[in-house]
Amino acid sequence: MPNITIKEAPEKKDLTEIIYTRRAVRKFKDLPVAQKMIDQVIDAGRMAPSAINKQPWRFYVLRNKTKIASISRQIAAVALHGFVHSGVKEMIKAAGHLLHFSKDFDFSGLSDPVFHGAPVVIFITAPTDNEWAPLDIGMCSQNMMLTAKSLGLDSCPVGFAKYVDQTKSYPDLKIPGTEKVALAIILGFGDEKPLLHERKKDNVFYID
């Protein structure tokens, strides 16, 4: 049981409303996030179910703005370098899409192409020998993002964060060789209100 008391727990809000209003935000205000809020978000992640209750997740929190931007550019360069050398033009186009570049953006001018100026980046790792960890971390990260929304924060899961192990700054994160980065969650006070994307309705099948 995580070290969290009723006094420290987030104010109770309607869960359904939080689920329906959470969005992936990629533009943040230049405001710090209180330590207490980060702790609450991580505590919520710890409450996720996991296979055989192994709780495989570990959290590496980065808040230094300069380091975040530097690692962001390094990850983008690694990803794009890999796509270019694949020789597949479609993959190069996909890189721009995955990094959320618009057609008007100049990659060379982006200061933070992967983490989008978020003041907090939480790298979530999994043991390299746990095949079920990705599923566990998916549930963990959803808990974190919903709790962030309940606290007035915005967030976005960043799959490209897994490329951080190919950057020169990776040793600075002090992640053991027995772990790998599964994804990162970026947190902050959003400076945009993304519209809801249409949800598919033809994907439910009742087997009686």
CATH number, domain of 97, equals: 3.40.109.10
Residue 174 backbone class (left: φ over 0; alpha: ψ -120 to 50; beta: rest): left
| Other C-beta atoms lying within 10 Å of the C-beta of residue 189 | 16
User: Does residue 11 belong to any structural domain of this protein?
Assistant: no
Mean pLDDT of all residues belonging to the chain: 86
The pair of structure tokens assigned to 60 is 């590496």
User: Does residue 166 belong to any structural domain of this protein?
Assistant: yes
SS3 61: strand
For residue 47, the enclosing domain spans 23-188
User: Does residue 72 belong to any structural domain of this protein?
Assistant: yes
- Whether the Cβ atoms of residue 150 and residue 21 lie closer than 8 Å to each other: no
User: Does residue 204 belong to any structural domain of this protein?
Assistant: no
User: Does residue 193 belong to any structural domain of this protein?
Assistant: no
User: Does residue 91 belong to any structural domain of this protein?
Assistant: yes
Q: Is the pLDDT of residue 101 over 60?
A: no
What are residue 195's phi and psi, to 5 degrees?
-75, 155
Question: What is the pLDDT averaged over residues 79-97?
Answer: 56
Overall domain count for the chain: 1
User: Does residue 197 belong to any structural domain of this protein?
Assistant: no
Question: What is the pLDDT averaged over residues 83-99?
Answer: 52
The rounded distance, in Å, linking the Cα atoms of 106 and 90 is: 19
Taking only the tens place, the pLDDT of each residue in 142-200 is: 999 999 999 999 999 999 999 999 999 999 999 999 999 999 999 999 999 989 889 99
Measure the CA dihedral 18/14/43/35, to 10°: 70
- Which of the pair, 145 or 104, is modelled with greater confidence? 145
- Residue 107 neighbours by CB under 8 Å, 6+ apart: 76, 80, 96, 101, 113
Query: In the chain, what percentage of residues exceed pLDDT 70?
Result: 80
SS3 172: helix
User: Does residue 14 belong to any structural domain of this protein?
Assistant: no
